[in-house]
């Protein structure tokens, strides 16, 4: 029996940003059977592959963006992002809302969230999953990344009484893409549960992704065992007696390190309330930080030291956090906010736009451990899966980047043009167009 030969497709654009090498004006990406097989100029690839079908896109073609911290299942909690409540009160609202959700509602909310990623050019996500019932929807979507099963609101007794067994059943369940463990925070699970989550992840060679150093109240709780999170634990009936009312004398980063959580197989969400020595510890451990500045602002959590992370060379990714604390799941929106924070903190170097786009591609890939082999993401190079996005930008901006306009001014940084003007008009997942607006 004869099989039809796979159709080669050449996706061309006025500018291609492969990320692992220089931008290519009039570039193209050759896709064969869902994978990128060549990246180069449109002209050279057309000449080398005259049989390829050519698809010309407008604007800038980039690797699919990588969201380093999100909770897709909370997409339908968007009204909470406008509640104006600070974190401890917001958490109460989250708990109350969660109790009203059925399995079908979780699945529907997740499907809408996954769609929101694809509409905005995101093709890989570090997705915190609290309800295992949503895992199948994530797997079916074809979106890459790591689903981190979350342990939250559990003390030692609840964990031993059945929560641990449930957690392991979901983690080891067949047919779903769970590749990570998320011990939520020091104030929502006991030290014993946290340490067990770390051990579970390491035993199974899974990645770790906790929330660390998000609020001042968290720092107070870990340091001295007091404050709103101590009150919350008591109110929720959680036995956190090893920290409650006595504290540990540590910062949240030091505490997580003492639990053995930090390492190159771990990235943390937020990293706001961190000292220079906390940041040095994170770097020493090879632990990346997923920055989510819009969520931080909405929850009145503070501002992460973006300029310091950049100046010190800390590994960073970019996350939207959940729709319950973020105005959108659009990573370019997040980059615009992140750039404003970095500039506001005095980061003046000209590499800012490039480093931020890198954080939303290569940095995310590193944070998720997806930098090697056929599953690597955040780059366009031969061998990777054909996951990419096309962003329209105004013609003048494009001319500035390509140096083809009437002006003899120096070429504009393409990363800045993308952040300033990019609007996702197409997303391709494994060679298939899954979103298109042109
Ligand atoms: Zn989060």
Q: Higher pLDDT residue, 179 or 194?
A: 194
Q: Which whole number is the average pLDDT over 364-384?
A: 97
If you measure from the C-alpha of residue 186 to the centroid of ligand 1, how many angstroms do you get, rounded to a whole number?
Answer: 14
CATH architecture of 65-373: Alpha-Beta Barrel (3.20)
4-17 pLDDT, tens digit each: 556 899 999 999 99
Band (pLDDT 50/70/90 cuts) for residue 401 is: confident
- Determine the Cα–Cα distance for residues 242 and 248; give it in Å rounded to an integer: 9
If you measure from the C-alpha of residue 131 to the centroid of ligand 1, how many angstroms do you get, rounded to a whole number?
Answer: 14
If you measure from the C-alpha of residue 17 to the centroid of ligand 1, how many angstroms do you get, rounded to a whole number?
Answer: 29
If you measure from the C-alpha of residue 395 to the centroid of ligand 1, how many angstroms do you get, rounded to a whole number?
Answer: 37
Neighbours of 64 (CB within 10 A): 28
Q: What pLDDT is attached to residue 149?
A: 97
Q: What pLDDT is attached to residue 10?
A: 98
Residue 168, pLDDT > 90, answer yes
Q: Are 121 and 331 in contact (CB under 8 A)?
A: yes
Token pair, residue 176, equals: 């779903």
If you measure from the C-alpha of residue 302 to the centroid of ligand 1, how many angstroms do you get, rounded to a whole number?
Answer: 14
Residue 336, pLDDT > 60, answer yes
Q: What pLDDT is attached to residue 176?
A: 78
If you measure from the C-alpha of residue 70 to the centroid of ligand 1, how many angstroms do you get, rounded to a whole number?
Answer: 6
Q: What pLDDT is attached to residue 405?
A: 55
- Determine the Cα–Cα distance for residues 191 and 256; give it in Å rounded to an integer: 10
Residue 408, pLDDT > 80, answer no
Q: Which residues of 188-218 are buried (b: 16+ CB within 10 A; e: fewer)?
A: bbbbbbbbbbbebbbeeebbbbbbbbbbbbb
If you measure from the C-alpha of residue 69 to the centroid of ligand 1, how many angstroms do you get, rounded to a whole number?
Answer: 6
If you measure from the C-alpha of residue 183 to the centroid of ligand 1, how many angstroms do you get, rounded to a whole number?
Answer: 11
Residue 136, pLDDT > 60, answer yes
Locate CATH 3.20.20.140 in the chain.
Answer: 65-373
If you measure from the C-alpha of residue 93 to the centroid of ligand 1, how many angstroms do you get, rounded to a whole number?
Answer: 15
Q: Higher pLDDT residue, 13 or 236?
A: 13
If you measure from the C-alpha of residue 342 to the centroid of ligand 1, how many angstroms do you get, rounded to a whole number?
Answer: 21
Neighbours of 374 (CB within 10 A): 8
Q: What pLDDT is attached to residue 409?
A: 59
Q: Which whole number is the average pLDDT over 72-97?
A: 91
If you measure from the C-alpha of residue 128 to the centroid of ligand 1, how many angstroms do you get, rounded to a whole number?
Answer: 7
Q: Which whole number is the average pLDDT over 71-81?
A: 95
Q: Which whole number is the average pLDDT over 374-385?
A: 97
If you measure from the C-alpha of residue 298 to the centroid of ligand 1, how many angstroms do you get, rounded to a whole number?
Answer: 13
If you measure from the C-alpha of residue 269 to the centroid of ligand 1, how many angstroms do you get, rounded to a whole number?
Answer: 7
Residue 244, pLDDT > 80, answer yes
If you measure from the C-alpha of residue 314 to the centroid of ligand 1, how many angstroms do you get, rounded to a whole number?
Answer: 20
If you measure from the C-alpha of residue 120 to the centroid of ligand 1, how many angstroms do you get, rounded to a whole number?
Answer: 20
Q: Which whole number is the average pLDDT over 419-423?
A: 97
DSSP 330-359: -HHHHHHHHHHHHHHTT---TTHHHHHHHI
Q: Which residues of 38-55 are buried (b: 16+ CB within 10 A; e: fewer)?
A: bbbebeebbeebeebeeb
If you measure from the C-alpha of residue 331 to the centroid of ligand 1, how many angstroms do you get, rounded to a whole number?
Answer: 15
- Determine the Cα–Cα distance for residues 257 and 263; give it in Å rounded to an integer: 9
Assessment of whether the complete model's pTM goes beyond 0.75: yes
Band (pLDDT 50/70/90 cuts) for residue 173 is: confident
If you measure from the C-alpha of residue 91 to the centroid of ligand 1, how many angstroms do you get, rounded to a whole number?
Answer: 11
- Determine the Cα–Cα distance for residues 338 and 411; give it in Å rounded to an integer: 24
The average confidence (pLDDT) of the chain is 95
Instruction: Please list, in sequence order, all residues whose beta carbon lies within 8 angstroms of the beta carbon of residue 143, skipping any fewer than 6 positions away.
Output: 114, 117, 118, 122, 123, 124, 125, 429
Residue 141, pLDDT > 80, answer yes
Locate CATH 2.30.40.10 in the chain.
Answer: 9-64+378-436
DSSP 245-305: TT--SS-HHHHHHHTT--STTBEEEE--S--HHHHHHHHHHT-EEEE-HHHHHHTT-----
The class that CATH gives domain 9-64+378-436 is mainly beta
- DSSP label of 131: S
Q: Pick from 255, 268, 192: which is nearest to 225 by CA?
A: 255
If you measure from the C-alpha of residue 311 to the centroid of ligand 1, how many angstroms do you get, rounded to a whole number?
Answer: 25
Band (pLDDT 50/70/90 cuts) for residue 438 is: confident
If you measure from the C-alpha of residue 344 to the centroid of ligand 1, how many angstroms do you get, rounded to a whole number?
Answer: 24
Q: Pick from 150, 189, 166: which is nearest to 322 by CA?
A: 150
If you measure from the C-alpha of residue 209 to the centroid of ligand 1, how many angstroms do you get, rounded to a whole number?
Answer: 10
Q: Are 412 and 405 in contact (CB under 8 A)?
A: no
If you measure from the C-alpha of residue 211 to the centroid of ligand 1, how many angstroms do you get, rounded to a whole number?
Answer: 6
If you measure from the C-alpha of residue 113 to the centroid of ligand 1, how many angstroms do you get, rounded to a whole number?
Answer: 14
Q: What pLDDT is attached to residue 416?
A: 96
If you measure from the C-alpha of residue 438 to the centroid of ligand 1, how many angstroms do you get, rounded to a whole number?
Answer: 33
Residue 2, pLDDT > 60, answer no
Band (pLDDT 50/70/90 cuts) for residue 86 is: confident
If you measure from the C-alpha of residue 392 to the centroid of ligand 1, how many angstroms do you get, rounded to a whole number?
Answer: 30
Residue 255, pLDDT > 90, answer yes
If you measure from the C-alpha of residue 268 to the centroid of ligand 1, how many angstroms do you get, rounded to a whole number?
Answer: 10
Token pair, residue 73, equals: 């299942």
Q: What pLDDT is attached to residue 406?
A: 56
């Amino acid at each position: 029996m004869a099989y039809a030969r796979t159709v080669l497709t050449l996706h061309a654009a006025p500018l291609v940003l492969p990320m692992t090498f220089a931008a290519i004006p009039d570039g193209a990406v050759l896709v064969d059977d869902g994978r990128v097989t060549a990246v180069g100029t449109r002209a050279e690839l057309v000449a080398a592959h005259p049989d390829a079908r050519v698809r010309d896109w407008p604007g800038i073609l980039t690797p699919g963006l990588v969201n380093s911290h999100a909770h897709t299942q909370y997409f339908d909690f968007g009204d909470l992002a406008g509640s104006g409540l600070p974190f401890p009160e917001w958490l109460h609202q989250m708990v109350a809302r969660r109790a009203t959700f059925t399995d079908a509602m979780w699945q529907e909310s997740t499907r809408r969230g996954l769609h929101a990623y694809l509409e905005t050019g995101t093709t890989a996500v570090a997705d915190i999953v609290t309800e295992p019932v949503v895992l199948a929807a994530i797997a079916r979507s074809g979106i890459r990344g790591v689903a981190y099963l979350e342990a939250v609101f559990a003390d030692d007794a609840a964990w031993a009484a059945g929560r641990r067994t449930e957690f392991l059943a979901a983690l080891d369940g067949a047919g779903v893409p769970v590749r990570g463990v998320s011990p939520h925070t020091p104030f929502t699970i006991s030290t014993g549960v946290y340490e067990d989550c770390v051990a579970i992840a390491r035993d199974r060679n899974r990645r770790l992704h906790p929330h660390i150093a998000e609020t001042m109240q968290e720092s107070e709780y870990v340091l001295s065992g007091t404050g709103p999170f101590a009150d919350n634990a008591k109110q929720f009936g959680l036995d956190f007696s090893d920290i409650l009312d006595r504290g540990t004398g540590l910062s949240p980063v030091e505490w997580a390190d003492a639990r053995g959580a930090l390492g190159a197989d771990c990235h943390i969400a937020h990293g706001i309330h961190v000292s220079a020595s906390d940041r040095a510890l994170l770097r020493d451990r090879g632990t990346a930080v997923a920055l989510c500045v819009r969520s931080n602002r909405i929850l009145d959590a503070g501002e992460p030291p973006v300029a310091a992370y950049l100046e010190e060379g800390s590994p960073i990714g970019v996350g939207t956090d959940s729709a319950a604390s973020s105005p959108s799941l659009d990573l370019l929106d997040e980059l615009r906010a992140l750039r404003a924070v970095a500039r506001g903190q005095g980061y003046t170097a000209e590499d800012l736009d490039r480093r931020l786009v890198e954080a939303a591609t290569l940095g995310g890939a590193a944070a998720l451990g997806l930098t090697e082999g056929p599953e690597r993401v955040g780059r366009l190079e031969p061998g990777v899966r054909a996951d990419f996005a096309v962003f329209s930008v105004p013609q003048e901006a494009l001319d500035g980047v390509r140096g083809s306009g009437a002006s003899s001014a120096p070429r504009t940084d393409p990363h800045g043009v993308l952040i300033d003007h990019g609007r996702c008009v197409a997303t391709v997942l494994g060679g298939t167009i899954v979103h298109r607006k042109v």
